[in-house]
Amino acid sequence: MKPVNQNTEFNPEGLHPSSVFHGGEGLSPHYLNCTAHPHDLRPSVDITLKAIDDRLAELPEDKVLVVLIGEIHSFPAHRVYQQLLASRLLARGENFAMAMELPHNSWSITTERIMNVKDSNKRLPPDLYYNCGQYDTDGHGALSAFLAWESTSLSPVSKENLIAFCYHNNIKTVFNDAAFINGALDLRDSFTMEAITDYDCDVKDIGKDCEKSVAIRNLVMAKHGLDYASKKGVRVLLQSAGLFHIFGLMTANSDYMVEENSYKDSLCPAYRRAGAEVLPVFTTLPSHKCGINRIPEESYPELQKSVILEGINERSYNMRKRSHRLSRLWGGEKSFVRKLQKTSGRELEFHDVTKNNGYYHSCDKHHRTEILKAYESAKP
């Protein structure tokens, strides 16, 4: 890890990792300060669409543009921003798809759990378990399974609402993170093992939360995401991932900033090496003193080609906290998501997944039948 003195101040000529917050002003033609109206997500989407159009105009028709959206998983505003961006692309007829940081075999994990309720020894064949996306061509099986049976502890209402939006609007969607087992990378998965080989590291060095594990996940996401975009023939792929997957991360350690996740192992260069053009969307967090000052120096050349958003609302919902769990019972996040949608021009639909859970169970059953049928018919 490379230590960098954290007391270095920023200036336009020479940026350095630091504990001093820098929101990104002056570093990109697509910078926006939303502090005055943090609940209105329309300006953020407008400037992102302008950046998408500018970049598409420079690209050959056969080049995929990956819009790499960094999110804090517990912030509903980050997810509602993605929904509004996707809604605008859909309205203008853009040929696009969504990619989400969820295990690529999520459908298989959920399906096996359902099967095990009746028979604890029931298992999917390995060639289906790790290749379910091959038979779930538009991702609607994975979407409906999530809506019927899964949730998340971090901003669950906004997550469910975004996934429901994709499902109800027939948006091509891929879950493209690495496969997991017991909280660690699933080393039985050939995609993970291929990424480990490409990364040239020893399997024994791969831990649950280590830097190498994040690097492997980024390689898997880039490969799955671009393969899906190419297969579906889309021009634009909206890839959402944790904020520091985008460029890497510097953290404070005593008197120094230490590189926790390097730029070379981040999603931005991983997608570019895979053959895509990349438009990063980096959201800075003023209240957490977390901005351009927290990314590695090697990523700075990316900033001029990025969308930088400062001051989007930072309200957080984490169901691991008791007060937040009570808030969900009282409808706290649901009310807040509706407020964001209202303040952002009432363009978005709200999907009450909990209320309509029975409907999603029937959708999941339908897609599960179709996926299993497609798998059986593909057998030699």
Look at residues 66, 71, 78 and name the one whose alpha carbon lies nearest to residue 34.
78
Q: Mean pLDDT, to the nearest integer, of 358-380?
A: 95
**pLDDT for residue 347:** 94
**pLDDT surpasses 60 at 12:** no
What is the Cα–Cα distance from 36 to 61, expressed in whole angstroms?
38
Which 8-state DSSP code applies to residue 285?
B
**pLDDT surpasses 50 at 2:** no
**pLDDT for residue 182:** 86
Q: Any idea what the Cα angle at residue 372 is, between residues 368 and 375, rounded to 5°?
A: 140
Q: Mean pLDDT, to the nearest integer, of 284-300?
A: 92
Could you tell me the pLDDT band of residue 325, with boundaries at 50, 70 and 90?
Answer: low
What is the Cα–Cα distance from 94 to 100, expressed in whole angstroms?
19
**pLDDT for residue 254:** 56
Q: Mean pLDDT, to the nearest integer, of 22-27?
A: 92
SS3 assignment, position 75: coil
**pLDDT surpasses 90 at 307:** yes
**pLDDT surpasses 70 at 117:** no
Look at residues 252, 250, 312 and name the one whose alpha carbon lies nearest to residue 282.
312
Q: Mean pLDDT, to the nearest integer, of 348-372?
A: 95
**pLDDT surpasses 70 at 370:** yes
- Half-sphere exposure at residue 292, Cβ-oriented, CA atoms within 13 angstroms: 29
Token output for 338: 């509706």
Q: Could you report the per-residue pLDDT of 25-55, keeping only the tens digit for each?
A: 999 999 999 999 999 999 999 999 999 999 9
**pLDDT surpasses 60 at 242:** yes
- DSSP string of 179-201, one letter each residue: PEETTEE-TT-HHHHHHHHHHT-
**Range with the poorest average pLDDT among 77-81, 287-291, 371-375:** 287-291
SS3 assignment, position 265: coil
**pLDDT for residue 208:** 60
Q: Residues near 345 by Cβ (< 8 Å), separated by ≥ 6?
A: 40, 42
Token output for 30: 């697509």
Q: Could you report the per-residue pLDDT of 146-184, keeping only the tens digit for each?
A: 999 998 999 999 999 999 999 999 999 999 999 999 888
**pLDDT for residue 207:** 66
Spell out the alpha helix ranges (H) of the chain: 42-58, 76-91, 106-118, 126-129, 140-149, 156-168, 190-199, 211-232, 243-247, 267-274, 300-303, 322-329, 332-343, 357-378
What is the Cα–Cα distance from 122 to 112, expressed in whole angstroms?
7
**pLDDT for residue 46:** 98
Q: Residues near 292 by Cβ (< 8 Å), separated by ≥ 6?
A: 10, 15, 22, 23, 24, 27, 282, 284, 303, 308
Q: Using an 8 Å Cβ cutoff, are 138 and 158 in contact?
A: no
**pLDDT for residue 4:** 41
What is the Cα–Cα distance from 166 to 186, expressed in whole angstroms?
27
Q: Could you report the per-residue pLDDT of 260-284, keeping only the tens digit for each?
A: 889 999 999 999 999 999 999 999 9
Beta bridge partners of 96: 236
Q: Mean pLDDT, to the nearest integer, of 55-84?
A: 97
Look at residues 85, 94, 80 and name the one whose alpha carbon lies nearest to residue 47.
85
Domain boundaries, given as residue ranges, for the chain: 22-179+220-248+259-378
What is the Cα–Cα distance from 166 to 86, expressed in whole angstroms?
9
